[in-house]
């Protein structure tokens, strides 16, 4: 609409609204910017990446800390790790050359274990399936293939240093047996593969594609039949919020309205409520579990405690903000007591009350997260907790985003519906509508409201 003007309006003008299209662009940008930063950090190897993610690892003598493929070590520590392994290899070669090295059946067993260093490489390159990689016969073949060059790398390329090690080891191995035989392994120590790794971000920042893949897997596949599916978890979380919030409304709204209407109730209830709300709801969690025992009851109670006291005060305040001259006018028209509450106070405060409840509903998501951790953990939060503990952060992010999207969408829908619930508010007559607003405009017939000013007689 603003684009029809000949002179282009500036993007930056103090306290002036931008046009519809520009607003849309900026809204999209506000979501795309964080995603872009995330992608930049994840996919540009030279930005940040403080860790090395091991493609395969190696055990060290006399060191209890064991790393395996997929583990993260810091960039600073990685060279030290490699140096340790190389030092061991040098000692092995030296012993082999000057004949000072030991030999014996214990090295045969050690070598069988050492052989399995190749397993993650074989899986990553697609040479073996995950199950085959546990089988020494198959791994033995991989050593052969790598040494004679028949297996081509397709994922992890072994360094020339490691290729040389593979060939030297295979020379010793093949001399005894072309096929795997646990009794026909070298009885002198073999060299270890020197660990290889790629730059990586810390485990707590998985890349977008990892999050999306894992999210898809978590939301669609049932991994453990004893555990609830993500859909069931979501339903349970929403149920707890809605139940807690509904109970809170059921008592909180009438009490708030009474406090806002009669000074008697205000002075009787509000001081204690005001005091009580400074005690954070989570401090009552153990108490609530003791009172309401297991299952959902203590959780619903926690959401209730979290929202109820705020609600009473907010509703009371909203009620007090109602223009007192409306009450006076109603009184001069003959309204008294209950009629005043029912016909003036209640309809007068509902639009603001609606907004209050929208904001309170947003808060109750906070209480939900705490509520789901008390007693028997449940719902979406239990999933986040468990996965987070296993450091599966790519599973955690989709759930966090799901909660965000649910809250945001609910709020947007409620906000868009406001003008249809309250067609008489001045905001409702403004013709600014988002996509959701247009949908509701189409859904609900507001022609009754639009007509009179278009000059049609209403009688």
Partner 1 sequence: MSGDFVLPSYLDQSDAVSERFARISQRPVKLEVQGLGKTFQSTDGELNALKDINFKVHRREFVSVIGPSGCGKSTLIRILAGLDHPTAGRFLLEGKEVHGPGPDRGMVFQSYTLFPWLTVKKNVMFGLEVGGRSGTMVESEAMQWIDLVGLGRFANAYPSQLSGGMKQRVAIARALANQPQILFMDEPFGALDAQTRSQMQAYLLQIWRNVDVTIMFVTHDLDEAIYLSDRILVLKAHPGEVQEFIEVSVPRPRVPDQFISPEFLATKKRLEELIHPKRSAVAEELPVIRMTSVEDTVD
Q: Which residues bind partner 1 (CB under 8 A)?
A: 323, 325-326, 328-335, 339, 343-344, 347-348, 350, 422-426, 429, 448-449, 451-453, 455, 457-459
Closest to partner 1 by CB, 105 vs 339, is: 339
Closest to partner 1 by CB, 159 vs 331, is: 331
Least Cβ distance, residue 333 to partner 1 (angstroms): 4
Rounded Cα gap, residues 222 and 220, in angstroms: 7
Least Cβ distance, residue 315 to partner 1 (angstroms): 18
- Using alpha carbons, select from 43, 36, 388, 75 the residue that is nearest to residue 210: 43
Closest to partner 1 by CB, 102 vs 323, is: 323
Least Cβ distance, residue 324 to partner 1 (angstroms): 10
Least Cβ distance, residue 416 to partner 1 (angstroms): 19
Q: Quick count: other Cβ atoms within 10 Å of Cβ 356?
A: 19
Closest to partner 1 by CB, 1 vs 448, is: 448
Q: Are 265 and 278 in contact (CB under 8 A)?
A: no
Least Cβ distance, residue 428 to partner 1 (angstroms): 8
Rounded Cα gap, residues 237 and 284, in angstroms: 20
Closest to partner 1 by CB, 65 vs 447, is: 447
Least Cβ distance, residue 248 to partner 1 (angstroms): 25
Q: Are 177 and 107 in contact (CB under 8 A)?
A: no
Q: Are 136 and 111 in contact (CB under 8 A)?
A: no
Three-state SS letters, 348-406: HHHHHHHHHHHHHHHHHHHHHHHHCCCCCCCHHHHHHHHHHHCCCHHHHHHHHHHHHHH
Q: Which two tokens stand for residue 425?
A: 């508010």
Closest to partner 1 by CB, 221 vs 456, is: 456
Dihedral angle sign, alpha carbons of residues 165, 170, 173, 175? negative
Closest to partner 1 by CB, 149 vs 455, is: 455
- Tokens 């910017």: give the residue: 33
Least Cβ distance, residue 456 to partner 1 (angstroms): 8
DSSP bridge pairs for 200: 51
Dihedral angle sign, alpha carbons of residues 45, 50, 53, 59? positive
Least Cβ distance, residue 326 to partner 1 (angstroms): 6
Least Cβ distance, residue 421 to partner 1 (angstroms): 11
What pairing do the DSSP bridges indicate for beta strands 72-74 and 51-56?
antiparallel
DSSP bridge pairs for 73: 52
Least Cβ distance, residue 417 to partner 1 (angstroms): 16
Closest to partner 1 by CB, 160 vs 325, is: 325
- Using alpha carbons, select from 376, 379, 383 the residue that is nearest to residue 294: 376
Least Cβ distance, residue 444 to partner 1 (angstroms): 16
Q: How many helices (H) and strands (E) does the chain have?
A: 19, 3
Q: What is the DSSP track for 82-131?
A: HHHHHHHHHHHHHHHHHS----SHHHHHHHHHHHGGGHHHHHHTTSS-TT
Closest to partner 1 by CB, 344 vs 368, is: 344
Closest to partner 1 by CB, 138 vs 352, is: 352
Helix H or strand E encompassing 415: helix 393-421
């Amino acid at each position: 609409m603003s684009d029809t003007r000949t002179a282009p309006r500036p993007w930056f003008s103090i306290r002036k609204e931008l046009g519809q299209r520009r607003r849309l662009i900026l809204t999209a940008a506000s979501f795309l910017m964080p995603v872009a930063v995330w992608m930049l950090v994840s996919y540009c190897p030279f930005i940040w990446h403080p860790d090395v993610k091991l493609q395969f690892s190696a055990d060290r003598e006399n060191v209890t800390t064991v790393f395996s493929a997929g583990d993260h070590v810091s960039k600073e520590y990685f060279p030290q790790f490699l140096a340790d392994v190389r030092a061991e290899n040098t000692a092995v070669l030296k012993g082999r050359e000057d004949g000072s090295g030991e030999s014996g059946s214990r090295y045969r067993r050690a070598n069988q274990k050492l052989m399995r260093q190749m397993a993650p490489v074989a899986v990553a390159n697609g040479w073996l399936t995950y199950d085959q990689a546990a089988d020494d016969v198959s791994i033995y073949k991989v050593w052969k293939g790598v040494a004679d060059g028949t297996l081509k790398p397709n994922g992890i390329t072994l360094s020339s240093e490691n290729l040389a090690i593979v060939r030297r080891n295979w020379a010793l191995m093949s001399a005894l047996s072309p096929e795997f035989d646990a009794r026909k392994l070298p009885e002198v120590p073999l060299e270890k593969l020197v660990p290889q790794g790629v730059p990586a971000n810390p485990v707590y920042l998985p890349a977008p594609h990892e999050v999306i893949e894992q999210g898809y897997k978590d939301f669609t596949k049932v991994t453990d039949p004893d555990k609830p599916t993500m859909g069931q978890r979501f339903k349970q979380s929403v149920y707890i919020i809605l139940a807690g919030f509904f109970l809170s409304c059921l008592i909180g709204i009438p009490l708030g309205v009474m406090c806002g209407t009669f000074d008697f109730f205000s002075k009787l209830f509000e001081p204690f409520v005001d005091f009580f709300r400074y005690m954070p709801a989570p401090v009552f969690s153990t108490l609530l579990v003791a009172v309401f025992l297991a299952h959902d009851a203590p959780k619903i109670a926690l959401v209730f405690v979290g929202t109820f006291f705020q609600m009473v005060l907010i509703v009371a305040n909203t009620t007090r903000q109602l223009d007192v001259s409306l009450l006076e006018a109603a009184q001069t028209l003959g309204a008294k007591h209950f009629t005043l509450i029912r016909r003036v106070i209640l309809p007068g405060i509902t639009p603001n009350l609606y907004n209050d409840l929208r904001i309170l509903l947003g808060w109750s998501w906070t209480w939900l997260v705490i509520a789901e951790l008390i007693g028997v953990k449940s719902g979406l939060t239990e999933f986040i907790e468990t996965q987070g503990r296993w450091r599966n952060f790519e599973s955690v992010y989709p759930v966090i985003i799901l909660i965000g999207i649910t809250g945001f969408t609910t709020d947007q829908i409620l906000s868009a519906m406001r003008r249809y619930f309250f067609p008489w508010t001045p905001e409702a007559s403004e013709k600014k509508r988002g996509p959701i607003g247009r949908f509701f405009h189409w859904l609900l017939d507001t022609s009754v409201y639009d007509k009179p000013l278009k000059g049609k007689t209403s009688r």
